[in-house]
Amino acid sequence: MTVPRGEVFGFLGPNGAGKTTSVKLLLGLSRPSAGEARVLGAEVGDAAARRRIGYLPELFRYQSWMTAREVLALHCDLARIPRPDWQREIREALGLVGLAERADDLVGTFSKGMQQRLGLGVALLGRPELVVLDEPTSALDPVGRQDVRGIIGALRDRGATVFLNSHLLTEVERVCDRVAIVDRGRVVAQHRMSDLLRESGVRIRAAGLGGQDVEAANRHGLARLDGEWLEVDGIAEAAVPELVRELVARGRAIHAVVPSRQTLEERFLSLLGTGDASVGEDASPAVTKGLER
């Protein structure tokens, strides 16, 4: 698996596929029994490289008697950020995650979503080159998820790499440049998002459709009839007007032409079922992995 620098990379798979284990291996929190990997150009576990990584675990707890500001100050210390920079780092992190007005409130008074925001703020301290987010929106409401999408976009804009481990496929589809799908500890597919979802289709509503129309449409893709609708999967965008002209030439009155596209969820399920193993390669990766445990 290769994660290019400066992209938002989605790491997907069913429960038990090995996603969180892979993250722990890449961060040096668990040791591999075989294989090798490099993160930010260094071997897994390299201390200097780890200081350039921000990490939001899936399950985390902060001391309930500490304020949000104190939690961030503690992690500034742990990350060895120079003390003169702490105030600026804490202010920027609180602002980014929407907790500026709750900076001096106790963590014990925070909702689960607010604690998730605080964890994200911790991951952003020190302007990391690689930010690893393990289910960052799992406890957030729709507004919070939109905020996280904005933060992820801002990280990409400043050149950081974001490694996003999530089971919320709609969120991944919105923010990721590339995804890898893992099943039972193996990457079964790795694609640019645009390539993964490029398979398109069209639904055409017309009166009097019949078998000859299906045969004509089958030259462009996989066609079927559903009442007054002719559905064609896998048709090229440029072929749609040609098909419409053929139907009109047969005397069909066209009432609607509706383009369609496979969702990430549909592609995800189909790839897990087929074991498609095509993988993209890129130079200067943020992460390369071939670990087993």
Residue 271 has what pLDDT?
A: 65
Query: Could you write out the three-class secondary structure of 124-168?
Result: CCCCCCEEEEECCCCCCCHHHHHHHHHHHHHHHHCCCEEEEECCC
> Burial, 142: exposed, middle or buried (Cβ in 10 Å; 0-12, 13-18, 19+)?
exposed
- Tens-digit pLDDT profile for residues 43-89: 888 888 888 999 988 778 889 999 999 999 999 999 899 999 999 99
- Tens-digit pLDDT profile for residues 140-195: 778 878 888 888 888 888 888 999 987 777 778 888 889 888 888 888 888 887 77
Residue 278 has pLDDT above 80, yes or no: no
Residue 98 has pLDDT above 50, yes or no: yes
The pTM (predicted TM-score) of the whole model is 0.72
Mean of the per-residue pLDDT values of the chain: 83
Q: Where in the chain is the domain with CATH 3.30.70?
A: 200-261
Given a contact cutoff of 8 angstroms between Cβ atoms, the answer to whether 152 and 175 are in contact is yes
Residue 100 has pLDDT above 70, yes or no: yes
Q: Which two tokens stand for residue 21?
A: 């284990």
% of the chain residues with pLDDT over 70: 87
- Tens-digit pLDDT profile for residues 190-247: 888 777 666 568 889 998 888 888 988 898 888 888 888 998 887 777 888 899 999 9
CATH number for the segment(s) 200-261: 3.30.70
Confidence of residue 273 (pLDDT cuts 50, 70, 90): low
Given a contact cutoff of 8 angstroms between Cβ atoms, the answer to whether 3 and 269 are in contact is no
- Tell me which residue of 53, 64, 4, 7 sits closest to 26, measured CA to CA: 53
Pick the CATH number of 2-195+278-292 from 3.40.50.740, 3.40.50.880, 3.40.50.300, 3.30.2290.10: 3.40.50.300
Q: Where in the chain is the domain with CATH 3.40.50.300?
A: 2-195+278-292
Return the half-sphere exposure (C-beta side, CA atoms, 13 A cut-off) of residue 273. 6
Residue 107 has what pLDDT?
A: 93
- Tens-digit pLDDT profile for residues 241-254: 899 999 999 899 99
Given a contact cutoff of 8 angstroms between Cβ atoms, the answer to whether 177 and 10 are in contact is no
